[in-house]
Amino acid sequence: MIELFYFLLTITIILLILKLFFSFAYFYKIDKLEKTVIDEKKYTVLQPILSGDPRLEEDLKANLKNTTDMNFIWLVDKSDKVAINTVESILKDKNYSNRIEVYYLDDVPQELNPKIFKLAQVVDKIKTEYSIILDDDAVIDRKKLDELSVYEKDKSEWIATGIPFNYNIKGFYSKLISAFINSNSIFSYFSMSFLNENKTINGMFYILRTDILKKYSAFDEIKYWLCDDLALATYLLSKKVKIIQSTIFCNVRNTVPSLKRYILLMKRWLLFSNVYMKNAFSTKFLFIILLPTLLPTILLFFSFYLGLDYLVIILNLFIGKIALFHIVRLFIYQGREDETSSKKSLFTFSPQTTEILYELLSEFLLPFMLVYTLLTPPVILWRNKKIRVKDGKIHYEI
Structural domains of the chain sorted by starting position, each given as residue range(s) with its CATH number in brackets: 2-388 (3.90.550.10)
For residue 278, what pLDDT band results from cuts at 50, 70 and 90? Answer: confident
What's the pLDDT score for residue 392? 76
Percent of the chain residues topping a pLDDT of 90: 73
Q: What pLDDT, on a 0 to 100 scale, did the predictor assign at position 383?
A: 67
User: Which H or E run includes 7?
Assistant: helix 2-31
Residue 113 has pLDDT above 60, yes or no: yes
Predicted pLDDT of residue 330: 86
For residue 66, is pLDDT > 80? yes
Beta-carbon contacts of 282 under 8 Å, excluding residues fewer than 6 positions away, are 197, 199
Task: Name 139's Cβ contacts closer than 8 Å, sequence gap at least 6.
Answer: 59, 62, 63, 66, 250, 251, 252, 346
- The phi and psi torsions of 269 (rounded to 5 degrees) equal -65, -40
Task: Supply the pLDDT for residue 73.
Answer: 98
Nearest to 233 by CA among 292, 291, 193: 193
Nearest to 117 by CA among 48, 210, 51: 48
Q: Could you read off the pLDDT of 185-239 as tens digits, one per residue?
A: 999 999 999 999 999 999 999 999 999 999 999 999 999 998 999 999 999 999 9
Contacts of 394 (CB under 8 A, 6+ apart): 111, 112, 113, 224, 225, 226, 387
Q: What is the pLDDT of residue 352?
A: 61
pTM: 0.91
* Separation between Cα atoms, residue 220 and residue 188, nearest integer Å: 29
The mean pLDDT value of the chain amounts to 90
Residue 337, pLDDT above cutoff 60: no
Instruction: For residue 339, name the pLDDT band (cuts at 50, 70, 90).
Output: very low
| CA 35 – CA 150 distance, rounded (Å) | 6
- Identify the sign of the CA torsion 384, 390, 394, 397: negative
Q: What local confidence, expressed as pLDDT, does residue 109 receive?
A: 86
- In the predicted model, is pLDDT for residue 391 greater than 90? no
CA-CA distances (angstroms) from residue 330 to 27, 40, 323?
12, 28, 11
Q: Is 46 helix (H, G, I), strand (E, B) or coil?
A: strand
Please check the confidence at residue 342 and state whether its pLDDT lies above 50: no
Summarize pLDDT for 255-265 with one digit per residue, the tens.
888 999 999 99
Instruction: Supply the Cα-derived Rg of the chain in whole angstroms.
Output: 21
> What is the spatial distance between Cα 91 and Cα 97, in angstroms, rounded to a whole number?
5
Cβ-based burial of 334 (10 A; exposed 0-12, middle 13-18, buried ≥19): exposed
Q: Is residue 49 within 8 Å of 56, Cβ to Cβ?
A: yes
pLDDT, position 335: 63
Within 8 A by CB and 6+ apart from 132, the residues are: 43, 44, 45, 46, 70, 140, 205, 206, 207
| Model pLDDT, residue 202 | 92
Three-state SS at 163? strand
